[in-house]
Amino acid sequence: MFWQQLLNGITLGSTYALIALGYTMVYGIIQLINFAHGEIYMLGAFTGLFLVTVAGVNIGVALLGAMALCMLAGMLVERTAYRPLRGKSSRLSPLISALGVSIFLSNLMVLIVGVNTRRYPPEYSLGSFQIGGVQISSMQLIILVVSALFMIGLQYLTHKTKVGKAMRACSQDLEAASLMGIHVNRIISFTFAIGSALAAAGGVMVGLYYNAVWPYMGTMAGLKAFAAAVLGGIGSIPGAMLGGITLGVLEIMGVAYISSSFKDAIAFGILILVLIVRPQGILGRKLSKKV
């Protein structure tokens, strides 16, 4: 029972982690909570669904297609709603702009597909197998493997490539980075693209796992993922992964051993408790303020 719940928790947690990575990368560079990120995740889930049902492509192709489309969507959102505000206002106005985009995107999707919950065709609910009393469905295995691959890939990208180095430079100091000849705007666009692609992958896999896709699915998932990013220490990429998995496991354990009707409250309750003890999150750096 315990190991089963742990596995379910890690599965849920890896999807939180995939979304949380987008929050944390964007935050690391431009200190913006990108509230439209949950809607990008929703867009990814729908794109995947339509590629599978309408275009009839393979699920792997659908995953890549959703990621590609969301990359463009993420870059477009950054270009239209955030870039015009950059550098000329308080930090709250981009936040409101992000919330505006979030309302816009979810209602756009309602107009296109209606409010009903859509489902993936049944042939994707593949079988499951047992290892030592723990039931693992193929979908869980796919989620775990794909998320792990993406996270390793991201770690490689940020630490071993030139563009990754530029991203890290931007997150340390945007101005100094631009003085070093880094195209800051291009790097920010790139960060949105990567984050959005990861969210889209999360969206397609969650859509398959829970077999439900609806236009408002991004709001709660986005809040949870943001909570995960903060839990791990916002701005830190390993923190987002750790925070996502921790939150997923604790939430599933809470549902299993405490009460299922308090599911959403448990996640946030844990978050608040952790932040009271460790205000900078699990892996966050403590910045001392300079006068």
The interface region with another protein, picked from 62-70, 127-135, 193-201, 272-280 by CB under 8 A, is: 272-280
Could you say which of 68, 141, 223, 282 contacts another protein (CB under 8 A)? 223
Pick the stretch among 46-54, 91-99, 157-165, 241-249 that binds another protein (CB under 8 A): 91-99
Is 113 a binding residue for another protein by CB under 8 A? The answer is no
Q: Should residue 102 be labelled a site residue for another protein when binding is judged by CB under 8 A?
A: yes
Binding-site residue total for another protein (CB under 8 A)?
A: 50
Looking at the Cβ atoms of 54 and 276, the one nearer to another protein is 276
Least separation in angstroms between residue 170's CB and another protein is 18
How far apart are CB 121 and another protein at their closest, in Å? 29
* Residue numbers 140-199 binding another protein by CB under 8 A: none
User: Does 72 help bind another protein (rule: CB under 8 A)?
Assistant: no
Nearest approach in angstroms of CB 98 to another protein is 9
Distance CA 76, CA 230 (A): 25
CB of 108 vs another protein, minimal distance in Å: 6
At its nearest, how many Å lie between another protein and the CB of residue 283? 14
Cα–Cα distance for residue pair 204/45, rounded to 1 Å: 4
**Is 143 or 174 the residue whose CB approaches another protein more closely?**
174
Q: Does 219 bind another protein (CB under 8 A)?
A: yes
**One of 165, 180, 264, 285 touching another protein (CB under 8 A):** 264
Dist. CA 277–CA 194, nearest whole Å: 32
**Secondary structure, 3-state, the chain:** CHHHHHHHHHHHHHHHHHHHHHHHHHHHHHCCCCCCHHHHHHHHHHHHHHHHHCCCCCHHHHHHHHHHHHHHHHHHHHHHHHHHHCCCCCCHHHHHHHHHHHHHHHHHHHHHHCCCCECCCHHHCCCEEEECCEEEEHHHHHHHHHHHHHHHHHHHHHHHCHHHHHHHHHHHCHHHHHHCCCCHHHHHHHHHHHHHHHHHHHHHHHHHHHCCECCCHHHHHHHHHHHHHHHHCCCCHHHHHHHHHHHHHHHHHHHHHCCCCCHHHHHHHHHHHHHHHCCCCCCCCCCCCCC
- Pick from 1, 54, 56, 88 the residue near another protein by CB under 8 A: 88
Binding site for another protein (CB under 8 A): 27, 31, 33, 80-81, 84-85, 88-97, 99-105, 107-108, 110-111, 219, 223, 226-227, 230, 234, 261-265, 268-269, 271-272, 275-276, 279-281, 289, 291
